[in-house]
Structure 1
C-alpha cells in the first residue's frame, strides 16, 4: 500500500506531508524498521498510524507468545508503561474542572501520610514531575528489590513515601521525573471519588470514547485475553519479563494501538472538554520561570520544528510510544513486547523512526568543520545536581564525550550534544541546558581512578528510608556493595574522582553513583547512592566496620 494512498484520506487535504514521505512504500518502510522482529520466534511490536482520527495503517510484527507460537496481531493488548500517565492526568483534571480538588492543593490534604518537608507539594507538582519526590522504583532497585521481584501495590509506594525524610530538590525548583507522583495521584483520585481508578476511567473515559480493549492491570494474576507476553533480550536469548506488581497509575494500562489512536483523536478533537485537553498539553514552569517540555502526562517540545505531543513508556519487557503531530493531523501508536536487556528507550526510538519516515525528516548531518579549540575543554566535569560525570575528549574532528557522542561546535565555547546545549564558562565550568527545559552546572574535577584507601571505606551502611543495609568491601580494582540480609545481591563500583564511585544501570553506563561523606576529621560517616536524576542521593549511615 502506498503511503500517498493512505494519507490522502485526511492528512494531505489540510496539511500535506513532504513529497518524499508521500512517495514511500509504507509496508516496505515499516518492514525495514521492524526487520529484527520479523524473523524466527521472537517478540515484536504493533504499530498504528492514523490521519484525521481514522486508523489508516496497523501492522503487527513478531510473536505475542513465543512459547505457544502466537503472533502479534493488530488487536493484541500490551501494557503501555508510562504512556498510562496521561489517562491519570486527564482523570485528575476532570476532578479539577468539577471543583472537587485544586491543582494548587497541598497533597497532604489527601495524603496525610506524606511527611511535612517544610514546603508544600501541590497536586500540580505531581502531574508535572516537579515535586522532588524520589522515584519509588529506582529507590527499590537501590534497596535490592527491583520492580517485578516483589508484588508491590500502591499502598507500598505510599508507605515508601511516608519514610522519606529527603527530597531530590525543593518542590517546584527543578524537574525530576518520578513514577511516585502518579501513583500518589491515583490514590488521591480514589480517596476523592470513592471509586477505583479502573472504574472511574472506565466510566468517564474508556466507555464514552469507545476504547473497548483498554483497562488497568490492578492484579497481575488476572488472566487477560489476547495479551502479549513481555520479553527482554539476554545473551542466551529472549526471556520473559512481565510486570509482576499491582502498582498502577504510573503505568499499568492494558490497551491496543487502535484504542490509543482513538484516545489521540479524542484529545485532538477536544472531546474531553476544552479545559482538560488544554491543561494536559500546557507546558509546566519552574519556580524561577523556566519552561519545561513536560506538561501533564505529556511531553510537548517547546521549539520543535514540527509541533509534537508525545510520551514513551517502558515496564518489564513492554515498550510503548504514543505521539501526535497536530499540524500534520498525524498520530502514531506503538506497542512492543520486545524489551532490551538494559535500557528503556526502544519504544521511543522505534516510534521516532516511523515518524521520521512519514514526515520526511532526514537524519542530522554529521559535523564537517574541525574544532581546533577542543583540546582546552577536555577533562572530567561533574554535575552539581547528581554528581554524575561528563567526560570530554578531543581528536582531530573536535570534541566528544568519552562514549563517542560528538559535540557539534556552534560558536566559541558553545556546543550542541544530542539536543542539549553545552556552554563553557572559563576552563573549569560548563552549563548544560537539556531539551526538557532543565539546566545543570558541571565543574571540573580531577580524575582519581586509584580510589584512595579502600579499607577506610569498608563497613556496614544502613538506610531507614529504604530499609536496607549494605556491606562495603574492597575488591581488585574497586569496591563491592553487598546487601547484608541478602548476600547474593551485590554490585561493583569503580572509582572516578575523590570519594565518588560509578556503576552502570539499565539506563546506561555510569548512570549510578556511590559517594562517601566524611566528617571534619576526614572519617567516613555515610554514603549516598544515586540512580540517574530520579534518586539523587539515598543516604546510608555508617553503623559498623
Structure 2
C-alpha cells in the first residue's frame, strides 16, 4: 500500500465556501469574497457537487475556497483540501517526468520510441519521444479506438496493457510523424510506460521521488489502482436523464494521460516550479515551455503538457482536463505572477471558464477586451461571400466541414469553429483566433475552388469543395455488407432501413447515417467514407473522427 502524508479535514457547513482568512492577499490586490462566491453560485448547493479553487501571487497562495459537496451519499462538503482528478491537466506532470529522465541522460527526446517499445510497428519514419510530448506523433488515440471497438472508456477496466495492445495493432498513423498535430492520450500513456521501463520504478514511485515530494505535494499521487482508498477524495457526478445526480467515476488504471489525484494547493506548488525551476533547473523550465513545431515550421502552441498562448491580451500557460465527471483547469499568467488552480466533481462544470473568471478578478487591470481586435476586414459584397458557402472535404481526414455566409463573413461548422471568418481580400478570410482560409480563386460560374486552411495547431490543410449527395436506392445497395477492422478488432454491418443507410456494431447497436458527399456519410463524432476498387465496387470503409483518422475496414461480406 502506498504511504501518504494525510491531513485530517473537519467538514464545514454544507454548501458554504471554505477559506483560510490568513491567506488574504497581502499585496493589496485582494478580491472581494462576494465576487468570488458569485462565480461559483451554481456550484454552492448542499445537494449537489461543486468545485474548489486556489490562487497564488508570486508563488504564495493567497486564496483557497470550495463549494458544493464532495460526497452526496454521506453529505460531505468539498474543502480546499479535497482530492479531485483534474483530467488532462495531468499531462504536464507526465511531460515533466519524461523531461527529467532526459536531463538525467537516461533517454534522448529525439529517440525513436521503438527503442523502448519494440512491439510498436515500424511506420517507415521515426516517432520520437518529443513527438509524444507535443502530440505530433500521428499515433491514434487508443481510447477512441477502444470506443470504435465497442468498449469506450469507463465501460470496462482498461490498463496500460490494453492501451499498448491497441496502439501496437495500428498499422497506420493519422499522418506522417511531425506533419500535423492531433491530440492523443496514447502519447502520454506511452511516456508513463517509458519511465517505468527505463527506471524499473512504477510511474508513481518515480513521480513521488522526483516531483511530488521535492515540491511538497503531500496529497498527490497517480491513480494506478482505482480500487485504492484515497483519503478525502471527492466523488464525480453527472446529471442523468432523470435530472438527478449519478456517480461517474474513472474505473480504469491507465494514467499519465490523466489519472492524477491531487488538491488545488498542490497544483499551485507544481505550476510555481515552472517559473522557478527549483526541481529540474533552467533547462527543465525551457523544455517544458518549448512548443511543438511541425515539419513546415508551424508552431502548434502545445508544449510540455501545456498550452502556451494569450487570454484577453495576457500571456497564459494552461491546460484543461476532464476525466469521467471530474473537471479541471490549471492556468498561470507569468508576466503578472498570478496562477489559478481549479477542480470540480460536476460533469457540467466549465472548469476553464470558471478559472478564468477568477483570474479576471485578480487581473482586471491587465486584461483587455474579451477578444483581440482580429484581422482587418475589407468591404466585401455579401453576395460574393455567399458564393463560397457550401460543403468542403478536409483532405487530411476526409471529414466534412461546412461554410455558411453571414454578411461579409463566413461561419465554419465541422472544423475548428470559433468566431466568424472576416473577409480580408477577395479570396481570403480570417478570424480573431488565428483561423484563416485562402481560396485558390473566386467562385466561377458557381464552381467553388479549393482552399488552404490554417489554424493555431496546424497549417497548410487543403480543403476541397464537395457537392450535396442524395443517394438512390441503388447507391445505398452498394454499401450493404459487413466490414472488418483488424486494428479495432471489430466488424460493422451496413444495412438499408426505411430508405436510409444504417450501421450496426457487434452488439446490434447503431444509428442511421446522414449522407454528406458522394460515398461519405456522417456518423456520430465522425465520418465514414466508402472506398471503391478500379471496377467501382465498394471494397473498404474508412472511419475518421477527432483523434482517429482513416481507420480502414475491409469488406468481408
The TM-score normalised by the length of structure 1 is: 0.89
Q: Distance in 1 between matches of 2:33 and 2:471?
A: 54
CA contact (8 A) 1:46 1:73 kept: yes
Compared CA separation, residues 327 and 302, structure 1 to 2 (3 A):
closer
The answer to whether the Cα contact below 8 Å between 2:522 and 2:528 also exists between their aligned partners in 1 is yes
Q: Matched residues in 2 for 1:397 and 1:58: separation?
A: 46
Q: Which structure 2 residue ranges, 5 or more long, are not aligned?
A: 1-16, 444-448
Cα deviation for residue 134 of structure 1 reads 0.2
Report the counterpart of residue 435 of structure 2 in structure 1. 420
1:144-543 matched pairs, under 5 angstroms:
144-237=150-243, 238-272=245-279, 273-301=281-309, 305-340=313-348, 346-360=350-364, 361=367, 362-364=369-371, 371-373=380-382, 374-396=385-407, 398-401=409-412, 406-409=419-422, 411-412=424-425, 413-416=428-431, 418-426=433-441, 427=443, 428-450=449-471, 453-476=475-498, 478-484=500-506, 486-487=507-508, 489-505=509-525, 512-532=526-546, 534-543=547-556
Aligned with 2:126 (options 120, 129, 154): 120
State whether residues 416 and 422 of structure 1, in contact with CA within 8 Å, keep that contact through their aligned partners in structure 2: no
Distance between the aligned counterparts of 1:356 and 1:387, measured in 2? 40
Q: 1:32 to 1:420 in 2, by over 3 A?
A: farther
Rounded Cα–Cα distance in structure 1 between residues aligned with 2:472 and 2:358: 46
Deviations 1:376-426 (A, max 9, x none): 221112211122222122244743336996514252222216542233332
Secondary structure of the residue that 1:78 maps to in structure 2?
A: coil
Report the more deviating stretch, 30-39 or 298-307.
298-307
State which of 47, 60, 63 in structure 1 corresponds to 2:66: 60
What SS does the corresponding residue of 2:340 show, helix, strand or coil? Answer: strand
Instruction: State the distance in 2 between where 1:379 and 1:7 align.
Output: 55
Which consecutive unaligned segments of at least 5 residues does structure 1 have?
13-21, 506-511
Cα deviation code 1:292-351 (max 9, x no counterpart): 2011211112898322211111111111111111001010111111114xxxx9322332
Task: Verify the 8 A CA contact 1:372 1:398 in the aligned structure 2.
Answer: no
Residue-by-residue CA offset, 1:490-520 (whole Å, 9 max, x unaligned)? 2432111111111333xxxxxx111111111
Q: Distance in 1 between matches of 2:459 and 2:231?
A: 42
8 Å CA contact 1:386–1:530 kept in 2: the answer is: yes
Asked if 2 retains the 8 angstrom alpha-carbon contact of 1:140 and 1:466, the reply is yes
Quote the RMSD (CA, aligned, Å). 2.6
Q: Give the match's secondary structure for 2:331.
A: strand
TM-score (norm 2): 0.87
- CA distance in structure 2 between the aligned counterparts of 1:156 and 1:226, rounded to whole angstroms: 30
Identify which range, 283-292 or 171-180, moves more after superposition.
Answer: 283-292
Q: C-alpha displacement at 1:363, in angstroms?
A: 2.7
CA gap of 1:29–1:494, structure 2 versus 1, over 3 A, is farther
Tell me, yes or no, if the aligned pair for 1:478 and 1:495 is still in contact at 8 Å: no
The alpha carbon displacement at 1:267 in A equals 1.6
Whether 2:26 is the aligned partner of 1:9: answer yes
**Comparing 63-72 with 421-430, which one deviates more in the overlay?**
421-430
